[in-house]
Chains A and B, each alone.
Chain A
């Protein structure tokens, strides 16, 4: 019997945030990210007979998403041609060579390593968020990630402000504990 099974009915609820965070760090556009996730779920649905059950549902969906992201960049490149950077530098003999300094990497710029670490940190946070009870995860995401006003969350979820702070408190304790074990 396979270790893991697919349950597409729960995909949006369980994995959409994780997949979205994974995608948005790579495509930097909310609408494109949503389209790619939608395409991923659809591709998963169409090819679910190929799922062997060796990897988890989420890992399998991520592998499909990675291909979708690559395809997205291929499409962009074929439309616009290869990315080309055109730079104009002065041919004045006095300033000749100044541009070399402009080409030196900015030490305060984010390195590929920083981006990778941040992306892994984001994955670790999402892993910990997935372990929270649903209502805690929802309130925490609305308050901390989406930066909704307290009043808006209370209105949307029909809870009082003191309820909200109790939920936030429990979520923060559980998250800090989880992050302590897995990251810090």
Chain B
């Protein structure tokens, strides 16, 4: 039997689920994911954990240095390191 054009594999569903966390899934991808979520317990479990992680990241408001800030810090500290060695 030919698979429906709406059918997606579990791996594809998980990737769309990841993209959804960043608002980067297209409407068509989201529809295919919704269909898969309606019957696949593995995708559903993955999606639940994925959403939980996204929520935790939002609540904690985790922050980190961006590339240029880290490079600046590294450069300054390396200069100090050479003085102390």
Kindly state the interface size class of chain B when it binds its partner.
20 to 34
Interface membership of B7, Cβ < 8 A: no
CB distance from B25 to the nearest CB of A (A): 11
CB distance from A65 to the nearest CB of B (A): 13
* Interface majority SS (helix, strand, loop, mixed), chain B: helix
A168 to B24, CA, bound (A): 13
With both beta carbons as reference points, the residue of chain B lying nearest to A42 in the complex is identified as B80
Given contacts A165-B19, A172-B53, A175-B53, contact A118 B59 (CB under 8 A): yes
Contact between A184 and B52, CB atoms less than 8 A apart: yes
A179 to B55, CA, bound (A): 12
Q: Which residues of A contact B9 (CB under 8 A)?
A: none
From A41, A143, A180, B22 is in contact (CB under 8 Å) with A143
From B19, B52, B63, B77, A145 is in contact (CB under 8 Å) with B63
Q: Beta-carbon contacts of A33-49 to B below 8 Å, as 1s and 0s? A: 01001100110011000
Interface membership of B26, Cβ < 8 A: no
From B15, B61, B69, A30 is in contact (CB under 8 Å) with B69
Interface membership of B73, Cβ < 8 A: yes
Binding site for B on A (CB under 8 A): 8-9, 11-13, 16-17, 20-21, 24-25, 30, 34, 37-38, 41-42, 45-46, 118-119, 121-122, 125-126, 141-146, 150, 156, 165, 168-169, 172, 175-176, 179-180, 183-184
